[in-house]
Amino acid sequence: MILSAYKKISVAKKAVIYLTLFIAFCGWSSIYLDWGGWLSKPSFFIGFFLFCLCIYYCRRITSGEMTNVVNWTLISAFSSIIPALGDWDASFLSYFYGYIATYYGLFFYYLLRTWKVSPNAFMKIVTVFCFIYFTVNTFTGSEWGLGDEPESIFNPKELDARQWAKTAAEGGMKGLILTCKHHDGFCLWPSRYTEHSIKNSPYKNGKGDIVRETAEACKEFGLKFGVYLSPWDRNNEAYGKGKEYDDYYVNQLTELLTNYGDIFVIWLDGACGEGSNGKKQIYDWKRYYEVMRKLQPDAVISISGPDIRWCGNEAGQVRPSEWSVVAADMTDPAITAQLSQQEDNEEFRNRPLDETQTDLGSRECLRSEKNLAYYPAETDVSIRPGWFYHEEEDDKVRSFENLKEIYLSSVGGNTTLLLNLPPMKNGKLHPTDVQNVKLLGEFIKDTFNDNLADIAELQTIPEKDIHGNSGDVLRTDHYDRVFENAAGNRELTIQMRWKEKNMLLYLVLKEAIPYSQRVEKFSVWYAAAEGKKEKLTEATTIGYKKIVDLQGIETDLLEIHIEDARVAPVLSFVGVYK
């Protein structure tokens, strides 16, 4: 348990632990072991320098988390270097510094046991990211390859991974996932476990590695990098033979998860068809997950995985009430497989959300469930009718207005958004795709830049939360300071008043999801003509993010009424934009 917890702590936080331990060691060991003055005084200066670094980095890294523990640790660390200033009685201090050493041992143990997911980690939620669907299908004109395509057809002579990453960054995206291997089995990296890969293609005379090119481009443009490795492989002869294919799949997983730096997401779908031998494979998901957790412990395992679920359609449709807390059975990849596309057809890509899947998390839906899971949703959609590039679809690219609508409903509806951008045969994105994505990025940046809540008179009912915080904490988009109602109080009112009227376009609400998802019903009111309050809209869930269309109303007063929640609501942010 301790080792597992230790692996989840970031490198920066581990550095803080090591530094504080070293400070203590410099102080108490110089006395306890009776080291000479020639070592004691240098240890003081070294220790003092490290102490200053600790204060600086603890404040930046923890940002309020475990503040008291950190402060006492730093005080103790500092006290442990003071004796180096003079020759204190070692016989007395040997006991004292024995205590210091014990204290640090206990603190280290306590930290590993209690330092779970940092609230700041939630601030790094990748809300919008892109897919790059690219393989032999791009050259054959198909969506699902058969696995018998010759490697010689794959030759993107102008491939530009930097253009992919640059477009994603300009589109307001924070990550990029590459289809390293689709169902056809062709690998975009020179895998040592198959000949059906880029190493036997004309691309860069067989010396290319598109996975590496993409990972490096993502790093250059500040994007997180993810991989998609299809479990279904229509080329490999071991497919359908149980452990033999599982070994093959794990070997390829290992290549991707150890040779290309940090991976933020491992994307898996539920497709499971026949291989070249006519057999189907029963995937050893448990083994796959264990390898993923071991090699990339910070990576999210999506769709046919335990961390993120599919929204249920590829048309960009989102549930009116999207709950992240659902029945634990939903995490079973077999359920994802049942809902997933099992054959190549356009009808599935345009199919709306199944009516039987519209409610996954209401009280009524979960009433008889014994086990629940925090299993948030992801909206997956392609910028074109197909997921791979087809020249005949050049006039069917999603418009900026349509992309904006999908963004507001998905990211603004408690799901993340994964937008597919398929490169052309030459390895570049089509100019129309690039332009529309760039317009989306400009909309996101320009619209949600200046928060009018910052200049409003902000009041709440109740006036203070259980920590003594006022509503002012809601102006800052952060999870270390939240507004938490007292237990049993499931209602909250937030009022914002301005000195003059403003035309308001969007309201952004966020729950503090380290406390899970709680709000079940809320309404938005505004001061209309002659100051009379009118209800603008009402809704149900908020989750990690809810974007409410304020319809361009002109007002100097806005009120949000949290009318019901499963338990006392905990909000982290309120934003108003014009």
Instruction: Write out pLDDT tens, residues 2-33.
Output: 343 444 445 655 565 566 556 555 554 544 44
Output the DSSP codes for 454-505.
GGSEEEEESSS-TTS--GGGGGS--SSS-EEPPTT---EEEEEEEEEEEEEE
d(CA 560, CA 569): 13
Mean pLDDT computed over every residue of the chain: 83
Contact 159, 203 (CB under 8 A): yes
Beta bridge partners of 574: 509
- Residue 348 predicted with pLDDT over 90: no
Kindly state the tokens that stand for 225: 């990098």
Contact 132, 176 (CB under 8 A): yes
- Residue 100 predicted with pLDDT over 70: no
Instruction: Write out pLDDT tens, residues 101-149.
Output: 444 444 443 443 333 333 333 434 678 999 999 999 999 999 999 999 9
d(CA 472, CA 413): 24
Beta bridge partners of 535: 525
Is the full-model pTM beyond 0.95?
no
Instruction: Write out pLDDT tens, residues 514-543.
Output: 999 999 999 999 999 888 899 999 999 999
State the residue for tokens 């040997």: 94
Weakest mean pLDDT among 469-473, 474-478, 528-532: 528-532
- Cα distances from 367 to residues 354, 361, 364, 479, 517, in angstroms, run 21, 10, 5, 30, 16
Instruction: Write out pLDDT tens, residues 330-344.
Output: 888 777 666 655 555
Burial of 12 (0-12, 13-18, 19+ CB in 10 A): exposed
